[in-house]
Amino acid sequence: MENKMDMDTMDHNHESIPATEHTCNQGHIHTGLKAYMHEGASVISAELEVYNSVKEIRQQLTTDIEELSHWVDVHHGIVGHIKAFIKEGGNGYMLSSTGEDVQCKEISESVLQISIAVIVFQIDLKQIKQQIEKILEKYK
C-alpha cells in the first residue's frame, strides 16, 4: 500500500501560501495548488485535470520537469525531488428513466489528472510557486 501524507493535516509552523482552486471552462479544471515550507524545503503540490492525450501530456511534462530542474540549478538550489503523475480516467455510466424503462449509456471521456510534487532546497517558496504556476498555464 502506498504511503501518502495528508498535506492538509500536517503540522507546519513555517510560511505557507494558500491553496488555489477553481474550475475553468477552457478544457481544464484546477483541483489545487499548495505551497509551504517544511524542514527548510520549499514544497509544492498541484493537481490539474485536462482533456488531452496521454502522449502529449507525457511529452510536455518531461520537458517541464527538465526545465524546472535546470531552473533550480541555475538559481543555486537543490532538487529534493520533482515528480509528476498522470492518471487516466473518465469512464462512467448515465442511467435515466422517463418513468418506464431505465436506459443505461456508457460515457467515455479522455480526462487526465496530472499531479505534480516538488521539494527543493535553497529556493524561495514564492519563486518556485511561480514556476509551477507557469507550468500549469501551459495546460489551459
- The answer to whether residues 109 and 28 touch, using CB atoms and an 8 Å cutoff, is no
Taking 90 as the threshold, does the pLDDT of residue 37 lie above it? Answer: yes
Residues with Cβ < 8 Å from 65, sequence gap 6 or more? 82, 84
Is 3.30.70 the CATH classification of the domain at 16-137? Answer: no
What pTM was estimated for this model as a whole?
0.69
**Residue range 90-98: mean pLDDT, rounded:** 79
**Could you write out the DSSP letters of every residue in the chain?**
------TTTS---S-EE----EE-SSSEEEEEEEEEEETTEEEEEEEEEE-S-HHHHHHHHHHHHHHHHHHHHHTT-EEEEEEEEEEEE--EEEEEESSSSEEEEEE---EEEEEEEEEEESS-HHHHHHHHHHHHHTT-
From 65, 42, 66, select the one nearest 122 (Cα to Cα).
42
Cα gap 110→140, rounded to integer Å: 15
From 118, 115, 37, select the one nearest 72 (Cα to Cα).
118
The domain ranges of the chain are 16-137
Percent with pLDDT over 70 in the chain: 75
**Residue range 94-116: mean pLDDT, rounded:** 83
Per-residue pLDDT tens digits for 69-90: 999 999 999 999 999 999 887 6
